[in-house]
Amino acid sequence: VKREVLLCAGAIASPQILQRSGVGQSTFLKSMDIDVVHDLPGVGENLQDHLEMYLQYKCKQPVSLYPALKWYNQPAIGAEWLFNGTGIGASNQFEAGGFIRSSDEFKWPNIQYHFLPVAINYNGSNAVKEHGFQAHVGSMRSPSRGRIKLKSKDPFAHPSILFNYMSTEQDWREFRDAIRITREIMHQPALDPYRGDEISPGKHLQTDAELDDFVRNHAETAYHPSCSCKMGEDEMAVVDGQGRVHGMNGLRVVDASIMPLIITGNLNATTIMIAEKIADQIRGREALPRSTAPFYVAS
């Protein structure tokens, strides 16, 4: 094969494009009046994402980023970053993070943390109108699985997306544990000079049912859709180990959709690695030696 088509549209659009092109589950394609080019039932299945929530606290000392949210302070912040590359504008503000195991049943760190020196939503909305800080916390390897399906042959039409969040008991247990562990972290003596009242969820929420209700109403995506054109050799796999679509010639998928399982962490670096590895394979470059770096394995 001298030329190939590389589909790099992401975990939402790549399966949508494959389905619209006649590659997918044959019964579904026929129901959409799409000619079946290749029956591949895994296209659009196995969709995974990271779900997370915020635990917010008032800050007793004026050391948070709250003043930076005021419009009249932002021109100076922007100018310092633009001309000097320094200051508040030079950071994404997620200066601290971590991974933990919420239970000995897991052999990997199943909970991820990001800590932010302001109380605000991911998209910049609903900022608390005072000094505060928060922890972003979410599970890393939820067993819940979703799917993506076409709603129309129109390339501009949005697909039907079902992430199927929180569909197993493990999901609920992990989020309850995450809230309780976060509270334990926030009540360490080192934070005593700074920690004010718990804004969200609020210390009055304690029972499993109360925490579940909070998660149900406040958890949101971490923007990590993946795994909807999974790599593998089983009947639901879409691509092989080099991103080549099973049963097709000259077609590869190269994006986060080909992960068979969502990773423990943010997707960006891993997605870049996948693209670089497959690019080397396409160009015939020899792979780097396998890493021998040590890593922690839970006993």
Residue 62: count other Cβ atoms within 10 Å of its Cβ: 9
Beta-carbon contacts of residue 59 (< 8 Å; ≥ 6 apart): 66, 130, 131, 132, 133, 194, 195, 196
**212 backbone φψ class: left, alpha, beta (φ>0; ψ -120 to 50):** alpha
Nearest residue to 9 (alpha-carbon basis) of 250, 254, 217, 183: 254
d(CA 237, CA 141): 19
Residue 138: count other Cβ atoms within 10 Å of its Cβ: 24
Across 214-223, b (16+ Cβ under 10 Å) vs e yields: bbeeebeebe
Question: Is residue 204 annotated as part of the catalytic site, yes or no?
Answer: no
Q: Is 2 exposed, middle or buried (0-12, 13-18, 19+ CB in 10 A)?
A: exposed
Nearest residue to 50 (alpha-carbon basis) of 146, 138, 176: 138
Q: Which of 50, 114, 136, 224 is catalytic?
A: 224
Nearest residue to 207 (alpha-carbon basis) of 180, 174, 167, 168: 180
Cis-peptide, bond into residue 15, ω within 30° of zero = no
Q: Which residues are catalytic?
A: 224
